[in-house]
A and B are shown apart, each in its own frame.
Chain A
Amino acid sequence: MSKLLEMHGISKSFYGTQALKDVDIKIEPGEIQAVCGENGAGKSTLMNIMTGILQPDSGEIVFEGQTLSDLNPRTAQEKGISIVHQELSLCPEVSVAENIFMGRVPEKRRGMVNFKQMRQEAEKVLNRLNLEIDVKKPVGKLGISEQQMVEIAKALSINAKILILDEPTSSLTDTESQILFENLMRLKKEGIAIFFISHRLTEIFQVCDSYTVLRDGVHVGNGKIEAVDPDDIVRMMVGRELDQAYPDKGTEVGKNILKVKNISRKDEFENISFEVNEKEIIGLFGLIGAGRSETMRTVFGINQPDSGKIELFNEDITANNTRKNIDQGLVYISEDRKEQGLFLDMDLNANVVAADLEQVSENNLVKKRKVKKIGENFVEIMNTKYASLDQPVRSLSGGNQQKVLLAKWLAVEPRILILDEPTRGIDVGTKFEIHTKLRELANDGHGVMFISSELPEILGLSDRILVMHQGRLVGELDAETATEEEIMMYASGRKNDFKN
């Protein structure tokens, strides 16, 4: 079969940093190809060149046997190269049909919108994805997975021949991901080529035909997916043998730190009880909507429970606000580092000291010397890579941003850490570093509890596993003996140890 798209010897550098060096990639019609690599490996740069957002410094792009020069976003679209970004770019207040035809609205005479034609064509595209959505509905009223389908429909409606999906499943539940994959198979049969970017190897092995791996801007491997196993891909991505995917488990359990007794909050969670001990890592699993984050935010004091009791070191902290809890050593590290975690336009130091200005102040005045000392110290502890402590956090890569976020919370010298999706969207190498750090903290006598939607992470990192389903705690398992199937039985509500 002839190649649909071939890119040869693509190089691109930014301000002296070589983002891509002599990279080759090609795809055939109906092929689903995984593009793998750690954060900063050059995946985004390559996709931005493919869609005409960036111009390569050198290299050749051949599409349907024709060499394309000076590709820009408009010509890329006209050729049929479309991308669906990780962050959706829809207008929530505007109808589904208008979103799909954004910028290309069919017209009647005198510049009036032809709503009838637009709606019919929108329905036609959605049918290809086996979707029945009211096209007159505002997009914001749809669920995340439906919104993503609308985004894909939008890409298809431009007669896409190549569809690029950047981390399409990062905010989807497992069921929603499966629906997405079914749709990808449907498009594959139509002959559409798909570049699939994901950190989740299981998905890659489920849907992709082939793979390309990038590392530090260099092409390090490609081929048929049947010819490799997940370990091979990881090895290519990190460039070294990962001796083990997770740090060793804890060997002992220390004194009790936190007791949560029968807390409930209307419409969020009901009758939740658990304990956290020193030297122990607890993984909290559940499907989206199970109430995990809501529960942990209440424990942290962002909200107060309607009933029940929370004790820290045998002291009642139920009515505490977050400030008091932080001062007593209880911290919660939110899942959305950009929205709820970091001050992106502020520098590294200012971010690290944000949760404890007290310790860098004397007589209510912030001392620059202390800020610098604490900042340097904890950024170093987390092994963060940066150019200058004065640089805004925005300019760091995702993994390093996450390290700054952790540094901020380690700087308050916590006794118990609750982490919400601590490694979401982070590359394998950084992920391992963060896991190792959490195990170190536990071994030092901290209590660690984390929320994750990734079963391998739950099984690999935890000593003890808690599972929630629809606002209730339904299972507690020993991580040594638990299996993915067993955890899913609890998470989907088919099994419940705490019927009450």
Chain B
Amino acid sequence: MQNSQGSSILKKLFGLREASLALIIIVFAALLSFMAPGFLSTYNINTTLIGLSMDGILAVGMTLVLVVGGIDLSVGSVMAFANVLAGMTMVTLGLNIWVAVLVSIALSVLIGFSISQFITKIHLSPFITTLSMMSIGRGMAYIITKGSPVSIGNISQTFDFIGGGKTFGIPNPGLILIVLVIVMDFLMRNSKTFRKIYYVGSNEEAAKFSGINVNKIKIMVYILCSTLAGFAGILSLARFGVATPTAGTGAELRAIAGAVIGGASLTGGEGTVLGAFLGIILVGLVNNALVLLGVSVYWQQLVVGLVLLSAVIIDMKVHSNK
């Protein structure tokens, strides 16, 4: 019996997904700084951070959806749609930049709302609904731009600053992601409303019988996820100054990978925003390492796939030992 006390503490620490993930990231970064001297340069760290900030924002929304027991394959497409909609309305309709941004965000909310209606009212599966929306969103992005990227030029200094500037020496997109992660992680752990996401994902029927408005929670989660995707699209527009219909291609898979590496379960009820953030950082680091070590970019997707597989296998082993 005394023995089990000690091993339970060990198990708890090891079970803390975030702690072990952070450790892996630190060890990995330390190794990398020896092998590739350029790694610790401000330039490299900043570009890596900017590179993963859009994926990170998508992963935050994806975590909510995974915890509620769903999936959202449309985030990359919604990101592109919001990106080109804002860009094109500025350029071709001459719309005020902030009005254009608001319209884009509003339409992202609407997409999230319609996804949630298909799922809660018509009872379509989240997979099929968002797979369709993935195609629809991307299609709309191509239709709006007729397929080619459009530069928005230097429309507004503030807008440029959001995407390209720094605050306290940290690139703004990275800072936005960090603030978002802190806020959402706190809410997911402590807010009465957000805790209900875990109950619904863990057992939808039981949640219903416990007086939790299951549909309301699902609608909230899908709207939040799409809205964050739209926001990532705007941020990408501010960063690159180009409305591009291919923005966020494959991002849904990276977001899912990040969330799952961070401990989210595809069957719902489990997952944290902090974990997803760390998962995305790990994926970003691996990609960065490949670049720094001079490995062809074509290897990136393959390696990310391997990292995801290993993370899931390790997780399964840890869980089955409980």
Contacts and interface: CB of A to CB of B under 8 A. Distances in A.
B96 to A, nearest CB: 35
B268 to A, nearest CB: 9
Nearest to A323: B211
A334 B209 contact: yes
B203 A344 contact: yes
Given A343-B202, A345-B269, A366-B192, A354 B213 contact: no
A302, A341, A343, A408: most-surrounded residue (chain B CB, <10 A): A343
A354 B207 contact: yes
B157 to A, nearest CB: 38
B191 A341 contact: no
Contacts of B208: 302, 322, 340
Contacts of B154: none
Contact of A332 (B193, B195, B209, B270): B209
A322 B269 CA distance: 22
A355 interface: yes
Interface string B287-308: 0000000000000000000000
A339 B207 CA distance: 10
A340 B206 contact: yes
B206 A341 contact: yes
A302 B210 CA distance: 10
A345 B270 contact: yes
Contacts of B192: 357-358, 361, 364-366
Q: How large is the interface on A (under 10, 10 to 19, 20 to 34, 35 or more residues)?
A: 20 to 34
A357 B195 contact: yes
Contacts of B41: none
Contact of A346 (B198, B211, B213): B198
A41 interface: no
A218 interface: no
A302 B209 contact: yes
Contacts of A344: 202-203
A339 B205 contact: yes
Given A343-B199, A346-B202, A366-B190, A408 B210 contact: yes
A262 B44 CA distance: 74
Contacts of B8: 388
Contacts of B206: 339-343, 354
Contacts of B210: 326, 354-355, 408
Contacts of A321: 211, 213
Interface string B201-240: 0110111111111000000000000000000000000000
A358 B211 CA distance: 12
B17 interface: no
B202 A340 contact: no
Contact of B199 (A340, A354, A364): A354
A355 B209 CA distance: 8
Nearest to B205: A340
A346 B196 contact: no
A357 B197 CA distance: 12
Interface in A298-341: 302, 321-323, 325-327, 332, 334, 339-341
A361 B191 CA distance: 8
Nearest to A361: B192
Given A339-B203, A339-B206, A346-B202, 17 more contacts: A332-B209, A334-B209, A339-B205, A340-B206, A341-B206, A341-B209, A343-B202, A343-B207, A346-B269, A350-B198, A354-B206, A354-B212, A355-B211, A361-B192, A364-B192, A365-B190, A365-B192
Interface of B: 8, 190-193, 195-196, 198-199, 202-203, 205-213, 269-270
Interface of A: 302, 321-323, 325-327, 332, 334, 339-346, 350, 354-355, 357-358, 361, 364-366, 388, 408
9 contacts: A323-B212, A327-B211, A340-B209, A341-B206, A342-B206, A343-B269, A346-B269, A365-B190, A388-B8
